[in-house]
Amino acid sequence: MYYKTLKGFPEHFLWGASTSAYQIEGAYNEDGKGMSVQDIYETPEGITDFKAASDHYHHMREDVKLMADLGMKAYRFSIAWTRVIPDGDGDVNAEGIKFYNDLINELVSYDIVPVVTMYHFDLPLKLHKKGGWGNRKTIDAFERYAKILFENFGDRVKYWLTINEQNVMINHPNAMNPGRIPSKKELYQQCHHMFLAGAKATLLCHKMCEGGKIGPAPNITAVYPEKCNPADVIAADNWESIRCWMYLDMAVYGRYNSLAWSYLAEKGFTPVMEDGDMEILKKAKPDFLGVNYYATATVSASKNDGMDCQPRNGDQQVMIGEEGVYRAGDNPYLEKTEYGWMVDSVGLRVTLRRIYDRYQLPLLITENGLGASDVLNEDGTVHDPYRIVYLERHFKQAQLAITDGVDLIGYCPWSFMDLVSTHQGYGKRYGFVYVNRDEADLKDMGRIKKDSFYWYHQVIITNGAILD
């Protein structure tokens, strides 16, 4: 749809940026922090692990000052469960609580709204060893952890995100399950338990945090049929329901998406449930939806010939395909990043429209950004025009989605600062702020504003008017 004039970004729009604890904090074993599954994750040869990351733990005040310089209205970050409760379900670590209290107070002192993810891929190792999300006791541990977070931070944190990218953890489970990749049947059992954990935290938030808003943060994308062949459309519907709607239908309506449920039944993946599970899931209602968006997916019809599923060394945006369900397709209309991710700014508009149309809840973009091998020049500058172009196009599509009627309350690009990418370490950088280290050499960990930092500052202070 074309409009004569576009709506502006709403007043109080939450222009922000995102990070996650294990990808920036470092200090993986300091001040009482326990080990998480990410602390023992074996990264490929030549790629850094997560132990030192961007050393945010020791640069916290300097980093928040940079957020204020950028003009950020909101900061989406995650709390490391193992910093607060080192073994996941035992004693509380006072130093962990202090770190996050200091961070939240620092943000509030600059009028930056904290948006807190409770769990971003970093399950406590001790819980993992006891069966992780396959064990129903992890639901209780998460509920108790949520209670501790609300007790300690709920007076100042009014935006909560339960679980980051539950759908990625189910579809791309490698990094979250050290030792052994669970079967799909096991993964969907984990998934059911995560749904319950998220629901219980949602109910608790509404009970404990006055004015607190809470929602999930899945990785959502529109799925396109490769051709207008109806068989491709069926495949696109299949994958969109299994990859996306199953997670949001459960969060919002407390029910399994019917198409996804038929898939689970056909494949023998339906989870074991206990009496009362569905009542809990139905009762918990999110106040808003976090949306992590990077790229659309394009699929073609399944041929069910043993070739639908392509073994790939893929990451979370790379489709694998599944026998009888869908086959990964190509989209000749889109460019790819240097890391092979599709770039589809219009797809952001499509995705936001579809989500809002289904759920009619406020949406907050909790991740979107461009990973690139940025270079620090000898004169101390970092020129990243490609990131500016990428974000400018996506911001414009967000504005179009707002004009379409989507209730978009904020936009937090990934990421505020360079961090350890989940698969490519520091080779693939996302930040507005460059962190001076590389894979092996920690250098001085200096913070350097990239060109995109200055540009994004202008976007924020004009509330998007410079995009016109």
8 A C-beta contact, residue 108 and residue 69 = no
- Binding segment for ligand BG6 (CB under 6 A), chosen from 67-75, 422-430, 431-439, 449-457, is 422-430
Q: Buried b vs exposed e over 362-378: b needs ≥16 C-beta within 10 Å?
A: bbbbbbbbbbbebebee
In the list 245, 414, 416, 455, the residue contacting ligand BG6 (rule: CB under 6 A) is 414
CB 21 to ligand BG6: min, Å: 10
Residue 316 interacting with ligand BG6 (CB under 6 A): yes
Of 59, 76, 387, 423, the one binding ligand BG6 by CB under 6 A: 423
Closest CB to ligand BG6: residue number:
421
> For residue 371, how far is the Cα from the chain centroid?
15
Show the site string, 15-44: x = touches ligand BG6 by CB under 6 A, - = not: -----x--x---------------------
**Exposed/middle/buried for residue 69 (C-beta within 10 Å: 0-12, 13-18, 19+):** middle
Reply yes or no: is the peptide bond before residue 415 cis, omega within 30 of 0. Answer: yes
The verdict on 219 binding ligand BG6 (CB under 6 A) reads yes
Contact segment (CB under 6 A) with ligand BG6 among 2-10, 81-89, 265-273, 415-423 equals: 415-423
Site for ligand BG6 in 140-179 (CB under 6 A): 164-165, 168
**Does position 453 bind ligand BG6 by CB under 6 A?**
no
What is the footprint of ligand BG6 within residues 249-268 (CB under 6 A)?
none
Nearer to ligand BG6, 23 or 436 (CB): 23
Q: Is 186 in the site for ligand BG6 (CB under 6 A)?
A: no
Q: Which of 216, 218, 371, 410 binds ligand BG6 (CB under 6 A)?
A: 371
| Residue (238 or 421) nearer to ligand BG6, CB | 421
Spatial contact of 425 and 409, defined as CB atoms under 8 Å apart: no
Total residues belonging to the chain: 468
Calculate ∠ Cα 191-51-106, nearest 5°: 85
State the helix-helix crossing angle for 246-253 and 184-208, rounded to 10 degrees.
30
Interaction between residue 428 and ligand BG6 (CB under 6 A): yes
Strands 223-225 and 74-78: unpaired
* 86 within 8 A of 28, measured Cβ to Cβ: no
- Tell me which stretch binds ligand BG6 (CB under 6 A): 129-137, 283-291, 306-314, 417-425: 417-425
Sheet holding 297-300, edge to edge: 223-225, 297-300, 327-328
* CB of residue 316 to ligand BG6, shortest distance in Å: 5
CA–CA distances in Å: residue 332 to residues 224, 293, 342 = 12, 20, 10
Which residue type sits at 63? D
Cα–chain center distance at 199:
18
Q: How far apart are CA 121 and CA 165, in angstroms?
A: 8
Q: Which one of 57-65, 201-209, 390-398, 420-428 is the stretch in contact with ligand BG6 (CB under 6 A)? A: 420-428
Q: Is 394 in the site for ligand BG6 (CB under 6 A)?
A: no
What the block records as the tokens of 96 is 């962990």
- 54, 419 contact by CB (below 8 A): yes
Q: How far is the CB of 423 from ligand BG6 (least distance, A)?
A: 5
Active site residue ranges: 367
Mask for 43-82, x = binds ligand BG6 (CB under 6 A)? ----------------------------------------
Question: Please, which residue, 281 or 370, has the CB nearer to ligand BG6?
Answer: 370
To ligand BG6, the closest distance from the beta carbon of 369 in angstroms equals: 8
With CB under 6 A as the contact rule, which of the stretches 2-10, 38-46, 58-66, 421-429 interacts with ligand BG6?
Answer: 421-429
252 closest CA partner among 224, 214, 282: 282
- Residue number, 218 or 225, with CB nearest to ligand BG6: 218
The per-residue DSSP string of 275-287 comes to TTHHHHHHH---S
Rg of the chain over CA atoms, in angstroms?
Answer: 21
**Strand 447-449 relative to strand 433-435, pairing:** antiparallel
Residues 331-370, one symbol each (x = binds ligand BG6 by CB under 6 A, - = not), give ------------------------------------x---
Question: Binder to ligand BG6 among 152, 190, 202, 292 (CB under 6 A)?
Answer: 292
Taking the complex as a whole, the smallest distance from the CB of residue 188 to ligand BG6 amounts, in Å, to 20
Helical axes 184-208 vs 137-153, angle rounded to 10°? 30
Q: Residue numbers of the site for ligand BG6 (CB under 6 A)?
A: 20, 23, 164-165, 168, 219, 292, 315-316, 367, 371, 414, 421-423, 428
